[in-house]
Every structure is written in C-alpha cells, then in structure tokens.
C-alpha cells in the first residue's frame, strides 16, 4: 500500500491486489472449514400410558428406543448384541403392539410377568427381504404366526 502526500491511499498495483484477494479468500475458507457442524440428533418422545401409547422416533437406534420404553413403563428387554438399527416413525397403540412394530423383522419372544412386559431379542439385524419359500395358492390363507419358547415353536393366531 502506498500513501500520497495528503495521506490518502494510492491504488495498489494489480499483482498486489490479487495477492490481497487470495489472502482474503483463503482466510474466509479456513474459517468456514473450522466451523463445527451440528450432528443429527436422535429423539425418542413417549406420551400416554401402556394401554394408549404414542411413540415418536427420529433417527434413533432400537437400543435407544427400548431403553426409553424401559424408563417409562414396566418394560424390560434383553439382547445378546447391541440393537444399532436406526428407526424413524410414529407408533400408536398398547405397549405390546408398539414393541411388536418396532422389532418387526427381528427374532424375539415377548411375555408378560408380574414385573411387566419382558422381551428377549435373539438377533440384532432384520433379515434381508427373501422370496417366499412356499407356493402361493389361489385362495387366501390365514396368516401364520409363531410363538417361540426356547426350542419349542407354538403356532398362534395373529
């Protein structure tokens, strides 16, 4: 930068202006690159009681959802592995129905006891979508459901 006799700044020559411009741009980029980004936060909202539950889930793992239910109701769960599958959505209904919808695709057993609802989860990831293994008949059939009790499989009405 140059000053004339009256103290005013004289125009910079072109190469000096380009260096100053580059410096300003690099400084701005370095400031922007160090601004921390806000991570997506998971959220689990529970309202109502065990008979009329509303559960709102945003980007939370099954582990987080089940832990929130454990804190809110007489509910307990066990799993050999971490339930890291992310889930989103709004679930309404009685606690057993909501838990059934949340764990859709997982192998589990649900039963009531004097201490409340108990769920044992056997796998940690839903199975891949597979083609049906039985032939499709022309007339509709009742949905087949099973209750797993240890090694026993008991057919139940859905």
What are the contacts of 144-153 at 24+ separation with CB within 8 A? 147/109, 148/107, 148/109, 149/109
User: Is 90 part of any domain?
Assistant: yes
Indicate which CATH number applies to the domain containing 90. Answer: 3.55.50
Task: Specify if 30 maps to a domain.
Answer: no
pLDDT per residue, tens digit, the chain (158 aa), is 566 666 666 665 566 667 777 766 666 666 655 555 555 578 999 999 999 999 999 999 999 999 999 999 989 999 888 788 888 899 999 999 999 999 988 889 999 888 889 999 986 555 454 444 444 444 444 445 666 666 666 666 65
Q: Quick one: tokens of 74?
A: 């007489």
Domain extent, residue 102, equals 43-127+135-156
* Residue 3 domain-assigned (yes or no): no
51 within domain boundaries: yes
In a domain, 20, yes or no: no
Name the domain count of the chain: 1
Q: Spell out where 35-85 has E strands.
A: 43-49, 52-61, 75-79
Question: Is residue 23 a part of any domain in this protein?
Answer: no
The whole-model pTM stands at 0.54
Alpha-carbon distance of 137 to 158, in angstroms, equals: 20
Q: Which residue has the tokens 């499709």?
A: 136
């Amino acid at each position: 930068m140059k000053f004339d006799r009256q103290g005013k700044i004289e125009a910079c020559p072109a190469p000096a202006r380009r260096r100053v411009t580059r410096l300003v741009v690099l400084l701005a980029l370095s400031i922007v690159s160090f601004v921390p980004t806000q991570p997506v936060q998971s959220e689990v909202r529970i309202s109502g009681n065990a008979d009329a539950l509303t559960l709102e889930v945003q980007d939370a793992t099954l582990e987080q959802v089940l832990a929130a239910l454990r804190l809110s109701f007489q509910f307990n769960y066990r799993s050999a592995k971490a339930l890291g599958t992310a889930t989103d959505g709004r679930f309404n209904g009685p606690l057993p129905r909501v838990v059934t919808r949340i764990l859709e695709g997982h192998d589990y057993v649900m039963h009531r006891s004097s201490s409340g609802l108990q769920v044992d989860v056997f796998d940690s990831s839903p199975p891949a979508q597979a083609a049906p293994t039985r032939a499709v008949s022309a007339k509709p059939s009742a949905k087949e459901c099973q209750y797993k009790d240890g090694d026993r499989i008991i057919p139940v009405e859905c």
